[in-house]
Structure 1
């Protein structure tokens, strides 16, 4: 039976370093982690915790952190991740952060208690998240851009998506475009989409309106736009996701305003219900299911084959629906 000492010798490192990598018990460089995992894979080494798992007939697991399980975007990704992990013999553990940076730390701690093979994380903001300071197993960011601390990520170019959607409304003649979003500190996706909006308005010499930020966790059916509509007089509203776009449309209708007769509305994500409504929602369609499958495959490649951590970026597309009209 292969020993940890043999793995360390094959990897050219100390026994302590090999133990830290395979036990996720301390900081090591990404290069060192890859060398140790590759040596373990080549030698067929099974840490005692995995051997014990096999003896108890308990499947290995991966941990998944998402902001909210009620959002169809994350549900689509989860379904694809679970299907891919099922093929590899892994179970899936799910935790929610509820868009709260503090809760995401405790949620990841809970996932780590089950000694997962790896993690797939959607963080509020990976640049500032304390999660990435923890001793983590192989980890892939999903929907977050990579960082020096965490180079493995599967994303879409959200900034470019924001620019594309704002550009579409500008092409329709709108010059007063309001951006309604969840709190930027709770979602780098929303912040990047807003930055893309700012980019294209600046290029075209159009003044942006101050963004309206609302809580992600709450009742969008209670959204009140009365004050900001009176103050800013927009002709179009971009919501940072489709669920919020539905809330915007509901708020406008409660004020007796029609979409798109009085105001145009657009969102991001391309969830199915947006295409079932009348008129269909103008949105940026994101490849959520594909992203989940790609993230799962990347994680398994890193964990089982010591593959290099890398950033994989998928494409988005503009879906021009009936909620945005020319002015």
Structure 2
């Protein structure tokens, strides 16, 4: 049986109320009494039930996190940033994944709400039209989006406040990536992406691809969409590379795992990166810097995204509680757009001369 606060009190020779005061306000009892209680806690192996205490106070001091997957280290890095910031602010973290299935988003959030989380950090398929986010707003549960980047025009409705988010500028970052390929001399650049309907980030990055091609006076090629970044798309690559006169000299991929999968499949077809075709990714995951050649990529600060998201959420939770206590109106949410960089890796080089 787990030791109880009553057993601690009996062993220390004090009242239960005295033990409770020490646990909640350490300076509220004398040093001598505190020492006796701490000896009892150590001897019994007692662990205070902070969850119960927080629920009685109307707060669990726990935040929920919903990400598409942890197999992509972008989200693992983000979760690390969330966890470190939460620890610093005395919050706990519960997380779950959706495996890129929009229909699983509501179930994931319902699971977290069942555990009485105070707020949620999440990445969704489409932040512009999302029933899960509507639910959180109706229930007045604070939330912060990560990686999703809402255009200001999506908040034209007057019956809701802007939605809090932390991301890079996906469109501008993708434009910078494709512009880097253009500056290397590429004229036929094709985009490889996950399904656009599963990721609004991919759509924004596609718009960035179009922006760069238009700015350079180049004709965009049809995007290649694949189901998952880990799947082999050899048939698409074979078709893409079939005609040497019209095949692309560079691939811009909507994420790094997709770029690395493409490099694997292209090598299997006997093509050399970057001699036969250059490959550019998006995310800047650390393993890309360990490849040979190093994966050229847009680098987004994923751990910082998690850190800022957690701090933004805790601020919203605490401001919301204060506003509710004072009978005030909710506070408008913050949007953070963090800087990106372009890693000029060896997987992207000037095109070979025919």
TM-score normalised by the chain length of structure 1: 0.80
The residue aligned with 1:11 is none
1:266-308 deviation per Cα after TM superposition (whole angstroms, max 9, x unaligned): 1011111111111111101110001100000000111113454
Select the residue among 232, 245, 259 that pairs with 2:273.
Answer: 259
Distance 1:250 1:86 in 2: 39
1:323 corresponds to 2:323: no
1:69 Cα offset (Å): 1.3
DSSP 3-state at the match of 1:220: coil
Structure 1: segments with no counterpart, 5+ residues:
1-49
What are the Cα deviations for residues 23-72 of structure 1, in whole angstroms up to 9, with x where unaligned? xxxxxxxxxxxxxxxxxxxxxxxxxxx8754569x953101010111110
TM-score (norm 2): 0.74
The answer to whether the 8 A contact 1:242-1:270 is kept is yes
Find the counterpart in structure 2 of residue 205 from structure 1.
217
CA deviations 1:118-148 (Å, max 9, x no partner) are: 1111111111211112124111111112452
183 and 241 in structure 1: CA distance in 2 versus 1, 3 angstrom threshold: same
Determine the structure 1 residue equivalent to 2:103: 102
Deviations 1:60-116 (A, max 9, x none): 310101011111000000011011111222211111111111111211111111121
Q: Partner of 2:166: helix, strand, or coil?
A: strand
Distance (Å, rounded) in 1 between the aligned partners of 2:196 and 2:202? 6
Instruction: Answer yes or no: is 1:247 the counterpart of 2:256.
Output: no
* Residue number among 219, 222, 247 corresponding to 1:233 in the alignment: 247
187, 192, 200: which is aligned to 2:199? Answer: 187
Paired residue for 1:286, among 300, 305, 316?
Answer: 300
Q: Residue 65 of structure 1: SS of its match in structure 2?
A: strand
Q: Is residue 226 of structure 2 the alignment partner of residue 214 of structure 1?
A: yes
Aligned twin of 1:9: none
Q: Does the 8 Å CA contact 2:60/2:118 hold for their aligned counterparts?
A: no
Is the alpha carbon distance of 1:115 and 1:54 closer, same or farther for their aligned partners in structure 2, counting shifts above 3 Å? closer
Q: C-alpha displacement at 1:311, in angstroms? A: 0.5
CA distance in 1: counterparts of 2:180 and 2:231, whole angstroms: 25
Tell me how far apart the structure 1 counterparts of residues 142 and 56 of structure 2 sit (CA, whole Å). 23
Flag the structure with larger Rg: 2
> Are the equivalent residues in 1 in contact too, given 2:226–2:233 (CA < 8 A)?
no
For residues 319 and 220 of structure 2, what CA distance do their matches in structure 1 show? Answer: 48
Instruction: Spell out the pairing of 1:85-164 with structure 2 (5 A cutoff).
Output: 85-134=86-135, 135-146=139-150, 147-148=154-155, 149=160, 150-164=162-176
Given the superposition, is the C-alpha separation of residues 105 and 322 from structure 1 closer, same or farther in structure 2, using an over 3 Å criterion?
same
Q: Which runs of 5+ in 2 are unaligned?
A: 1-50, 321-330
Query: Aligned to 1:259, what secondary structure does the other structure show?
Result: coil
**Root-mean-square deviation over aligned CA pairs:** 1.9
Asked whether the 8 Å contact 2:75–2:302 carries over to 1, the reply is yes
